[in-house]
């Protein structure tokens, strides 16, 4: 990117969203807080990192009709997507628990984002936590194979909301299992749209063509389903 001025930017996905922050010349406000980057802009020879996952996460929940205020949440994962999710939730959620295979990484997320109500949770506590929270967020790649689940879906209750950030496959076993349990559940496709709209504006300094981008995403989804 540095060598080619015609490249105006790039998107970054897991597992590189945290590591890439050390390779850039600067970070936008949300990326500085979250310490993760999913969008890079190239301007005047400088590479600047941005985080559009954070606002996109909030917009996706809002689009689905879930109100965060006063709710308890469990976020699975400790990478860039998990960090963005925790940052989006912390202003209004009552408690936020963060669980990861690496408990030290979960502790780092809670420390960096100043989570005092809730906190890091070992995997062994999931059987209790999954049942007691209002919102479960899967910010790990577990389930992207179409088979795995991050925990037994039987732990989910009908009153809960499950947000699986995975969008390929469109319906993971976690999403289907949650719906089978009577809970509301969404995938990460709407979040992908919203973060893409924000990235477009960062790259071009122009309003994003939401209708065209939404239609293109829908065509891609239909094409994937029919293939």
Burial class (CB in 10 A: 0-12, 13-18, 19+), 66: middle
Sign of CA dihedral 151, 140, 132, 120: positive
- Detail the DSSP E strand segments found in 135-194: 135-138, 161-164, 184-186
What φ, ψ does residue 89 adopt, rounded to 5°? Answer: -85, -30
Question: What residue segments make up the domains of the chain, in order of their start?
Answer: 54-189
Integer Cα distance of 94 and 129 in angstroms: 14
pLDDT at 222 exceeding the cut of 70: no
The size of the chain, in residues, is: 227
Q: What is the pLDDT of residue 221?
A: 81
pLDDT tens by residue, 67-113: 999 999 999 999 999 999 999 999 999 999 999 999 999 999 999 99
CATH number of 54-189: 3.40.50.720
- Give the model confidence (pLDDT) of 5-31 as tens digits: 899 999 999 889 999 999 999 999 999
pLDDT, one tens digit per residue, over 179-212 is 999 999 999 999 999 999 999 999 999 999 999 9
* Strand intervals (E) in 152-212: 161-164, 184-186
Burial grade of 33 (CB within 10 A; 0-12, 13-18, 19 or more): middle
pTM to 2 decimal places: 0.92
pLDDT above 90 for 225: no
pLDDT (0 to 100) of residue 140: 96
pLDDT at 223 over 80: no
């Amino acid at each position: 990117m540095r060598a080619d001025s015609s490249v105006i930017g790039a998107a970054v996905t897991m597992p590189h969203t945290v590591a890439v922050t050390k390779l850039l010349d600067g970070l936008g406000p949300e990326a500085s807080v979250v310490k993760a980057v999913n969008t890079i802009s190239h301007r005047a020879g400088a590479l600047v990192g941005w985080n559009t996952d954070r606002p996109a996460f909030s917009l996706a929940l809002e689009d689905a009709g879930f109100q965060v205020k006063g709710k308890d949440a469990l976020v699975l994962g400790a990478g860039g997507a998990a960090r963005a999710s925790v940052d989006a939730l912390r202003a209004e959620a009552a408690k936020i628990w963060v669980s990861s295979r690496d408990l030290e990484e979960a502790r780092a997320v809670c420390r960096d984002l100043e989570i005092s109500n809730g906190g890091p949770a070992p995997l062994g506590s999931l059987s209790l936590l999954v049942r007691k929270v209002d919102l479960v967020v899967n910010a790990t790649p577990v389930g992207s194979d179409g088979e795995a689940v991050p925990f037994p879906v039987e732990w989910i209750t009908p009153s809960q909301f499950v947000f699986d950030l995975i969008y390929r496959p469109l319906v993971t076993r976690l999403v289907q299992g949650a719906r089978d349990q009577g809970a509301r559940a969404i995938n990460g496709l709407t979040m992908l749209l919203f973060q893409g709209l924000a990235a477009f504006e960062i790259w071009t300094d122009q309003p994003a063509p939401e209708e065209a981008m939404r239609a293109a995403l829908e065509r891609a989804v239909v094409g994937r389903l029919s293939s």
